[in-house]
């Protein structure tokens, strides 16, 4: 198959998506393990009575999201390398759903950051994890400026997400163009293969029919003997 410009773009896109999502999933897993479990109440001292708080649940969802994205991107990369339309289509459909999901989440976050109750709730949740607050002190976060820091970080996050969504839209178009080219190439190659196979299957039957026709033309030994007897009778007369 001739090389298509979208194939090189799809190759780079799927490879970077698989590696970057795997790296982010690994970092999220490391951060999730660093979070401490929280007891259900002050009076429950049993070591097996624990519960997830909201921050740990978010960390778990992020881990599942980036892990799934890494696996799907690896499947898409294999489809581009092996020129498999089904694998490329699977990656394209997942990318469309993921793009829609990210755009929806971005809209929700953009609406939520202007609500006065959200920064307060987030800062209260972070205050329950002093180790995490200590690690994020390098980013300028403290208990005094938590709400102001959260609003600024949310605006930066929205700007970054808009840039990422625009870039992902271009990537999605490139993968879609390559999938269309790949499907068209396979659909054109399939009738040729079928016609070749049909020709090979018809050749033996055609040779057998020719053999039958030639056998019908050749006279049998009985016919030859009858002709010889008739000739002898004519000579005697």
What pLDDT, on the 0 to 100 scale, is given for residue 228? 45
pLDDT tens per residue, range 90-131: 999 999 999 999 999 899 888 887 777 777 777 877 777 777
SS (H, E, C) 159-196: HHHHHHHHHHHHHHHHHHHHHHHHHHHHHHHHHHHHHH
**Comparing 150 with 170, which gets the higher pLDDT?**
170
Taking the alpha carbons of 21, 23, 26, 30 in that order, is the dihedral positive or negative? Answer: negative
What DSSP designation does 2 have? -
Q: Are 32 and 60 in contact (CB under 8 A)?
A: yes
The b/e string for 148-182 (b: 16+ C-beta within 10 A; e otherwise) is ebbeebbeeeeeebeeeeeebeebbebbbbbbebb
Residue 146 CA to chain centroid, in angstroms? Answer: 38
**Mean pLDDT score of the chain:** 75
Which whole number is the average pLDDT over 156-166?
91
Which whole number is the average pLDDT over 208-212?
52
Q: Are 88 and 76 in contact (CB under 8 A)?
A: yes
How far apart CA 164 and CA 4 sit, in angstroms, is 25
51-60, 74-83, 189-198 — most confident range = 74-83
Q: Domain segments of the chain: what residues?
A: 5-38+49-196
Helix (H) or strand (E) holding 104: helix 85-112
Strand partners, 51: 38
How far apart CA 230 and CA 228 sit, in angstroms, is 5
How far apart CA 40 and CA 60 sit, in angstroms, is 19
pTM: 0.65
pLDDT of residue 41 exceeding 60:
no
DSSP structure string for 48-93: T-EE--HHHHHHHHHHHHHHHHHHHHHHHHHHHHHT-HHHHHHHHH
Task: Give which of 139, 163, 162 is closest to 150, Cα–Cα.
Answer: 139
3-state SS class at 214: helix
Helix (H) or strand (E) holding 205: helix 146-217
- The least confident of 11-20, 173-182, 228-237 is 228-237
Which whole number is the average pLDDT over 165-175?
92
pLDDT of residue 77 exceeding 50:
yes
How far apart CA 209 and CA 214 sit, in angstroms, is 9
Helix (H) or strand (E) holding 38: strand 38-39
Which whole number is the average pLDDT over 48-53?
49
- The least confident of 49-63, 69-83, 111-125, 177-191 is 49-63
What pLDDT, on the 0 to 100 scale, is given for residue 166? 94
Position 189 confidence tier, pLDDT thresholds 50, 70, 90? low
**Comparing 227 with 131, which gets the higher pLDDT?**
131
What pLDDT, on the 0 to 100 scale, is given for residue 119? 77
């Amino acid at each position: 198959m001739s090389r298509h410009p979208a194939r090189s773009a799809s190759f780079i896109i799927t490879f970077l998506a698989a590696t970057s999502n795997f790296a982010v999933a690994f970092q999220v897993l490391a951060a999730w393990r660093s979070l401490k479990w929280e007891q259900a109440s002050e009076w429950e001292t049993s070591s097996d009575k624990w519960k997830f708080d909201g921050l740990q649940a978010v960390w778990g969802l992020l881990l599942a999201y980036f892990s799934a994205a890494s696996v799907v991107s690896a499947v898409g990369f294999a489809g581009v390398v092996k020129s498999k339309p089904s694998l490329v289509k699977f990656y394209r459909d997942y990318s469309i759903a993921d793009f829609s999901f990210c755009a929806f989440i971005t809209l929700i976050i953009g609406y939520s950051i202007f609500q006065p109750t959200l920064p307060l709730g987030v800062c209260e949740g972070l205050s329950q994890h002093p180790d995490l607050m200590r690690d994020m002190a390098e980013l300028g976060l403290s208990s005094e400026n938590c709400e102001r820091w959260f609003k600024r970080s949310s605006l930066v996050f929205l700007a970054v997400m808009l840039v990422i969504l625009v870039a992902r839209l271009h990537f999605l178009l490139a993968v879609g163009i390559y999938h269309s080219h790949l499907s068209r190439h396979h659909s054109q190659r399939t009738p040729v293969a079928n016609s070749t196979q049909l020709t090979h299957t018809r050749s033996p039957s055609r040779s057998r029919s020719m053999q039958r026709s030639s056998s019908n033309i050749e006279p049998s030994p009985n016919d030859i003997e009858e002709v010889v007897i008739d000739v002898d009778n004519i000579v005697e007369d």
